[in-house]
Amino acid sequence: MRRLPIFFVIDISESMTGEPIELMEKGIENIVSSLRQDPHSLETVYISIIAFAGKAKAIAPLVDLISFYPPKIPVGGGTSIGSALNVLMDEIDTNVKKTTFETRGDWEPIVFLITDGKPTDDPSQAIIRWTDKYAKNVSLIAITLGLNADVGILNKISNTVLALENTDKNQFFKFIEWVSASVKAQSQMIELDNKNSPVSLDKVNNAGLKVIGTTSELNISDSSCVTLTGRCSSNRRPYLIKYAKPKLVEGMERFIKNHQYYHLEGAYKLEESYFDWSTDNYVAEQVDTSSLDGFPPCPQCGNQSAFAMCACGKLLCVGDENIVTCPWCEKNIKFNEGSADFLITRGQG
Ligand SMILES: [Zn+2]
Ligand SMILES: [Zn+2]
């Protein structure tokens, strides 16, 4: 039997923390349960999930719909599209059967690459490998969540770049339905016509997706999100604080107070695995705390501020106590009243 391999390559960088990752987990579950109800898909569709932040890895190897178990989606620092592509190509090499003179291999794989960011590494080598050997035989659809992804890079690896402009829950699930419907349609077409055809983009508008032709349509703001990593001084566990620029409608700037500031979006618990998915060697950006609006309590222990900095340059939480041991460097820190603005290291995004 010829299988139809579907790869989801998912950006799990810091900016996805919180609701986006939860939606993504639910979205994958929805896609799988919807496909399981479709007899054509049940027969042909195989699914694999590759996650990428600073590092990339297959978190679900290519399996049939019945054996597929939705993985927990991690979070990491960085957006290494190069690593994501390399892992994707390795997975294709290992798991997708090629057509030879003797046997017919699998159907052309379909890849949904979903990202909201800009690469933090140089993906040019991976892109060369991709265009030389894979681009012709793999159908890759790149989807940007929001309007801040680097479309220039995505255009180099895919003829089809779509943007989900509005990333609220409703729109996101419409997009997920579109993915399920596209996969169903592909598996049906394969059965009827016995040949591969490109994924239809007829209904993308209904799904809130916009076909992006040129680079100029996106990149509205290059830094819509600031993320910072800290550790809880009570239980030492990591957390992430996320700020975003308020969404602006053109001409409305003056109605939104402090629109040039990053507003607090939330503070989230991180798993220790965050560090495994992050790049070790990136040049940290600095962000001026005076451009940040709002400081959250610690999401791990509830301490009143998750936003204290040790002399080692790392963030930790503090409560009422005057002396705290830094969970990063083990030094005792004495906090005094009054807060001068300071520079802190910004996440990779
Ligand atoms: Zn804490
Ligand atoms: Zn420290």
How far is ligand 2, taken at its centre, from the CA of residue 47, in Å? 43
List, for residues 63-75, the tens digit of each pLDDT value: 999 999 999 999 9
Ligand minimally distant from the alpha carbon of residue 303:
1
Closest residue by Cα to residue 51 from 75, 77, 82: 75
User: Which ligand has the shortest distance to the CA of 233?
Assistant: 1
Q: Which helix (H) or strand (E) holds 63?
A: strand 56-64
Percentage of residues of the chain with pLDDT beyond 90: 48
CA of 318 to the centre of ligand 1 (A): 7
Nearest residue to 265 (alpha-carbon basis) of 237, 292, 238? 292
What is the average pLDDT across 176-202? 87
pLDDT at 99 over 90: no
pLDDT over 70 percentage in the chain: 86
**Averaging pLDDT over each range in 110-124, 186-200, 274-288, which range is the top one?**
110-124
How far is C-alpha 136 from the geometric centre of its chain's CA atoms?
25
Mean pLDDT of 6-35: 92
How far away, in angstroms, is 146 Cα from ligand 1 center?
31
Cα separation, 134 vs 139, whole angstroms: 9
Task: Quote the CA–CA distance of 177 and 212 in Å, as a whole number.
Answer: 20
The alpha carbon of 108 and the centre of ligand 1 are apart by a number of angstroms equal to 49
Confidence of residue 221 (pLDDT cuts 50, 70, 90): very low
Is it the case that residue 349 has pLDDT exceeding 60? no
Model confidence pLDDT, tens digit, residues 192-203 = 877 777 888 888
252 pLDDT exceeds 90?
no
Distance 151 CA to ligand 1 centre (A): 38
Q: Identify the pLDDT of residue 219.
A: 46
- Compute, in angstroms, the gap from residue 13 CA to the centroid of ligand 2: 24
**Whole-angstrom distance, CA of residue 207 vs CA of residue 92:** 28
Mean pLDDT over 165-185 rounds to 91
Average of pLDDT values for 96-111? 90
Residue 68: the pLDDT is 96
Residues sharing a CB contact under 8 Å with residue 343, sequence separation 6 or more, in sequence order: 286, 287, 288, 289
Q: Match 């495994």 to its residue by tokens.
A: 276
Cα of 261 vs centre of ligand 1, distance in Å, is 25
pLDDT score for 122: 86
Predicted confidence at residue 247, as pLDDT, reads 64
**Beta-bridge mates of residue 209:** 164
Task: Point out the ligand nearest to the CA of residue 315.
Answer: 2
Q: What b-and-e string marks burial along 270-279, b requiring 16 or more CB atoms within 10 Å of the CB?
A: beeebeebbb
Residue 39, pLDDT > 60, answer yes
**pLDDT of residue 131 exceeding 60:** yes
Q: Give the mean model confidence (pLDDT) for residues 69-85.
A: 92
Angle between helix 124-133 and 81-95 (nearest 10): 30
Domain extents for the chain?
Answer: 4-217, 225-346
pLDDT of residue 258: 56
Q: Please give the pLDDT value at position 233.
A: 94
Average pLDDT, the chain: 85
Higher pLDDT, 8 or 118: 8
Q: Are 337 and 318 in contact (CB under 8 A)?
A: no
pLDDT attached to residue 313: 84
How much is the pLDDT for 165?
A: 83
Distance 316 CA to ligand 2 centre (A): 8
Which is more confidently placed, 221 or 183? 183
CA distances to 59, 103, 323 from 1, rounded to whole Å, are: 25, 11, 66
Q: Tell me how far the alpha carbon of residue 310 lies from the centroid of ligand 2, in angstroms.
A: 5
Q: pLDDT band for position 345 (50/70/90)?
A: low
pLDDT of residue 336: 64
Ligand 1 mean position, distance from CA 79 (Å) = 27
Q: Tell whether the model's pLDDT for residue 119 goes beyond 60.
A: yes
Res 226: pLDDT: 82
State the distance from the centre of ligand 2 to the C-alpha of 323, rounded, in angstroms.
13
Tell me how far the alpha carbon of residue 343 lies from the centroid of ligand 1, in angstroms.
21
Strand order in 4-11's β-sheet? 56-64, 45-52, 4-11, 110-115, 139-145, 160-164, 209-212
Task: For residue 12, report the distance from its CA to the centre of ligand 2, in Å.
Answer: 27
Task: Reply yes or no on whether the pLDDT at 249 is more than 60.
Answer: no
Grouping H, G, I as helix, E, B as strand and the rest as coil, residue 323 is strand
DSSP state of 81: H
Burial class (CB in 10 A: 0-12, 13-18, 19+), 335: middle
Residue 320 pLDDT > 90: no
Q: Which CATH number fits domain 4-217: 1.20.950.20, 3.40.50.410, 2.60.40.650, 3.90.550.10?
A: 3.40.50.410
The predicted model scores a pTM of: 0.83
- The pLDDT assigned to 222 comes to 44
pLDDT at 36 over 90: yes
75 token code pair:
């979070």
Tokens of residue 212, six digits = 């992006």
E runs forming strands in 78-174: 110-115, 139-145, 160-164
DSSP label of 71 = P
Number of helices (H), then strands (E), belonging to the chain: the values are 6, 17
- Asked if 328 contacts 231 with a C-beta cutoff of 8 angstroms, the reply is yes
* Amino acid at site 179: V
User: How many angstroms is it from 311 CA to the middle of ligand 1?
Assistant: 18
Query: What separation in angstroms does the CA of 228 have from each of 8, 77, 90, 288, 344?
Result: 27, 10, 32, 12, 8
User: What is the C-alpha radius of gyration for the chain, rounded to an integer number of angstroms?
Assistant: 22
